[in-house]
Amino acid sequence: MNRSVTSFLALTAPALFLMASLPASAQTVEVIQGRHAVSEPMSQMAQHHSAGGPVSQHIHPLLPGQASAGSQVDVADPVAQETAGPMVSATIGNNVLGLGAGFPGYTVQFIPSDTNASVGTTQVVETVNTDYAVFLKSTGAIVAGPTSIPSGLFANLPGGCGTFGNVSDPVVLFDKAAQRWVVEIITVSTPYQHCFAVSTSSDATGSYNLYSFTIASGLPDYAKVGVWSDAYYVSSRLFSGGSSYVGPMACAADRTKMLAGAAATMECKQVINTAIDGMLPSDLDGATAPPTGSPNFYLIQGTTGTHTLQLYKFHVDFAIPANTTFTGPTTITVANYTQAASSTSVPQSGTTQKLDALGNFLMHRLSYRNFGTYESLVVSHSVSLGSGTTKRFGMRWYELRSPNAVPVVFQQGTFSPNTTTYRWMGSIAQDKLGDMAMGYSVSSQTLHPEIRYTGRVPSDLAGKMETEATIFNGTASQTGFSRWGDYSSMSIDPVDDCTFWYATEYSTGSSNWATRLASIKFPTCQ
């Protein structure tokens, strides 16, 4: 999010649409008619320019029972990986400067960066808070942009989506089956909206079909998107009146209509439970679609201290909304862990300013892959380990299988191969062979925040990652603000289904951030 605490609390309360406190499967679906327009070609839009406003931040409120800095007592983590494995077998290809400080003509305006990127047939698209740019996949060279998402991309769509300073939490994904780009962002004042831009071709510099869907029930904070066969599935944290947390919300936008540039609807269901947070929809990787009629899978951490994940299934019917179902949760027990403190908890070198870890959130993306003989989901979040001089955060990751039958934890681990380093804000994905790559931020009292990754191949020991490697060495620490992230992204090249692209931020000092776009590949995947 990009707005100040003052503006966050001063938002005007909308009329509240609350469903009865019923099981998810019994709740009534809310059908929202979208507003539609078409953008100018991105290549013809004006480049980014600074509005001259101050850098601002948004605080994700802690929910009851969530960990704040210094409040938790760590449990033993039985899957902690505290010794180094073999040298990481994946190697870095491109490693280029993305949007942010130091990018030609760019001025950082908002904290956090909300860094996100996706890769298509020939291009890589990066979104940050609140701009986007197109890079050439083969070299990392800039092709178009940077362009303002609200005042450039959404300029032709009446309403709040096109208002600078009124949008936040951008996400970009490449719809591999349709060969289209999908950009989603939310508005942060009434009317609260999900704003979608769907490209009219595989060229990210062309025109986009624009849609806005008004969420009458509140602010859909921290929205994340998953591409599926029948819809673009969305998760968010719903705040009534912009400030009172109601619980997660799951929505599905009509992918078929949006790809055609036709009138489209969105269907939404609420999970009225203020004890759970940070839900993610599954996002398709690979060329093999989910089985016909498969629901989209939503995953969330269980309530604090339960050592569980909760799985929901969302199956949408746009023709007959009464047939839409949102069922669950199925509780999946995982290895014991202590949730990483959400706020002001990650130390940096040379300053007392600590950074937010958002340990209460599963981290974007929930990557789904259909291997033919089995279905697999991978996801990560940060957990707390040790105490005193050994205090640190590690990257907990999972591979879940059989999500549409009886979901099982096929393997899990907590990557923390030394006793002083904090690892957080990660993202994980798989290639077509089942190799995994996981990127994340790293910091400590003797390290400036930097970018690293690790990975594994199927022949490695279950639950173990290989030795990490560095994408970018930290050169400065962030001061003045605790916000960091709020997320990063590990995506997979749809052409070779082997090459990963990781995007995240690092600090250039004070309240400035920069980003890197790095490609990673395992030599056995061709």
For 429-480, write each residue's pLDDT tens digit. 999 999 999 999 999 999 999 999 999 999 999 999 999 999 999 999 999 9
| pLDDT number for residue 369 | 98
Report which of 399, 521, 495, 486 is spatially closest to residue 112, judged by C-alpha positions. Answer: 486
Angle at 222 between CA 189 and CA 378, to 5 degrees: 165
* Neighbour count for residue 480 (Cβ, 10 Å): 11
Q: DSSP labels for 198-266? A: EESSS-TTS-EEEEEEE-TTSEEEEEEEEE-SSEEEEEEEEEETTTEEEEEEEEEEEHHHHHHT---EE
Give, in degrees to the nearest 5, the angle at Cα 187 between 226 and 16: 95
State whether residue 194 is helix, strand or coil.
strand
Check residue 389 and report its DSSP letter. Answer: G
Percent of the chain clearing pLDDT 90 (strictly above): 82
Please report the pLDDT score of residue 465 as a whole number: 97
| 316/233 Cα distance (integer angstroms) | 9
Helix, strand, coil percentages for the chain (3-state, nearest 5) = 5, 45, 50
Residue 398: CB atoms within 10 A of its CB come to 24
Residue 20 has pLDDT above 80, yes or no: no
Indicate the domain borders of the chain. Answer: 27-521
User: Residues with Cβ < 8 Å from 273, sequence gap 6 or more?
Assistant: 247, 248
What are the beta bridge partners of residue 124?
119, 135
The pLDDT of residue 513 is 96
Contacts of 459 (CB under 8 A, 6+ apart): none
User: Is 90 exceeded by the pLDDT of residue 64?
Assistant: no
Contact of 242 with 218, CB cutoff 8 Å:
yes
- Determine contact, residues 181/125, Cβ cutoff 8 Å: yes
Q: Is the pLDDT of residue 13 over 80?
A: no
Pairwise pLDDT comparison (144 vs 9), residue with the higher score: 144
Query: Residues near 433 by Cβ (< 8 Å), separated by ≥ 6?
Result: 457, 458, 498, 522, 524, 525
Mean pLDDT of all residues in 34-62: 74
**pLDDT band at 14, cuts 50/70/90?**
very low
Q: Which residue has the higher pLDDT, 476 or 3?
A: 476
C-alpha–C-alpha distance, residues 70 and 328, integer Å: 33
Strands 447-456 and 469-472 come out as: antiparallel
CB-CB contact of 113 with 495 (8 Å): no
Of the chain, the end-to-end C-alpha distance in Å amounts to 38
Radius of gyration of the chain from its Cα atoms, rounded to whole angstroms = 21
Which pLDDT tens digit goes with each residue over 226-235?
999 999 999 9
Cα gap 456→179, rounded to integer Å: 29
- Checking if the pLDDT of 5 tops 90, the result is no
Peptide bond into 130 cis (omega under 30): yes
The pLDDT value recorded for residue 2 is 44
CATH of domain 27-521: 2.120.10
Q: Considering the entire predicted model, what is its pTM? A: 0.93
Query: What sign does the dihedral 322-403-490-359 (CA atoms) show?
Result: positive
SS3 state at 323: helix
- Which pLDDT band, with edges at 50, 70 and 90, does 239 fall under? very high
Position of tokens 């940070």? Answer: 278
- pLDDT tens digits along 242-263: 889 999 999 999 999 999 999 9
Q: How confident is the model at residue 48 (pLDDT cuts 50, 70, 90)?
A: low
Average pLDDT over residues 412-429: 96
105 in Cβ contact with 137 (< 8 Å): no
Q: Is 209 exposed, middle or buried (0-12, 13-18, 19+ CB in 10 A)?
A: buried
Percentage with pLDDT > 70 across the chain: 90
Judge contact between 193 and 161, C-beta under 8 A.
Answer: yes
- The predicted structure's pLDDT at residue 179: 98
Q: For residue 19, what pLDDT is reported? A: 33
CA distance readout (Å), 361 to 5, 248, 299: 20, 12, 10
Question: Counting every residue, how long is the chain?
Answer: 526
Q: Please give the sequence-ordered ranges of beta strands (E in DSSP) within 87-178, or none if there are none.
A: 91-97, 116-119, 123-128, 131-136, 142-148, 167-175
* Amino acid sitting at position 301: Q
C-alpha span between 2 and 114 (Å, rounded): 9
Read off the pLDDT of residues 77-103 as tens digits, 9 standing for 90 and up: 999 999 888 888 999 999 999 999 999
The answer for 508, left when phi > 0, alpha when psi is -120 to 50, beta otherwise, is alpha
